Structure 1
Amino acid sequence: MSARTHTRPHPATTGRVDIRMPWWALVLPMVAFAALLLLILNPSDAQAATANPALTQLFDWIQQALYGIR
């Protein structure tokens, strides 16, 4: 005995695709982008996660190499 398959008629396509996203799918990336942008604009407020001076010197060297600050 074979199993019965359920088929649904396909709706007529009008060329328009209806895609719905939840509100947080747009808001969360925008909030993350804004937070990172604020950290870039004012890096003096950002603090290193560790007190290791070697890492701090490395980040300072990278920043000087990128921006030509001396």
Structure 2
Amino acid sequence: MTARTHPRPHPAPRGGGPGIRLPWWALALPTLAFVTLLTLVLNPSEAHAAAGEPAIAHLVERAQQLMGR
């Protein structure tokens, strides 16, 4: 038994422009992230590091030691 296909209610757009519209936040969120990171790069005194040595650095150092053997 074959399944019936439903025709499109509107014809597909033909090369006249983009067929998909993005919501406002699809452009706003990456722009906000870019501006935030750019601000941190230009003014690193605003970025506060955690006190002490981070656990990730410990883990990477340990992995390097094990690979060096």
For the aligned pair, the TM-score class normalised by the smaller chain equals: 0.5 to 0.7
Number of residue pairs aligned between Structure 1 and Structure 2: 54
Structure 2 portions without partners, runs of 5+: 58-69
Taking structure 1 as the reference length, the TM-score comes to 0.55
Against the structure 1 CA distance between its residues 16 and 47, is the aligned structure 2 distance closer, same or farther, given a 3 Å change threshold?
A: same
Identity %: 61
**Alpha-carbon distance in structure 1 between the residues aligned to 2:39 and 2:12:** 48
Against the structure 1 CA distance between its residues 45 and 4, is the aligned structure 2 distance closer, same or farther, given a 3 Å change threshold?
A: closer
Which residue number in structure 1 is paired with residue 47 of structure 2? 46
Taking structure 2 as the reference length, the TM-score comes to 0.56
Counterpart code for 2:46: D
Q: CA deviation at 1:2?
A: 4.2
Structure 1 portions without partners, runs of 5+: 56-70
Q: CA deviation at 1:7?
A: 2.4
Q: CA deviation at 1:46?
A: 1.1
Deviation string for 1:1-27 (max 9, x for gaps)?
544332237626542133200000000
- Superposition pairs for residues 14-25 of structure 1, below 5 Å? 14-17=14-17, 18-25=19-26
**Alpha-carbon distance in structure 2 between the residues aligned to 1:24 and 1:4:** 38
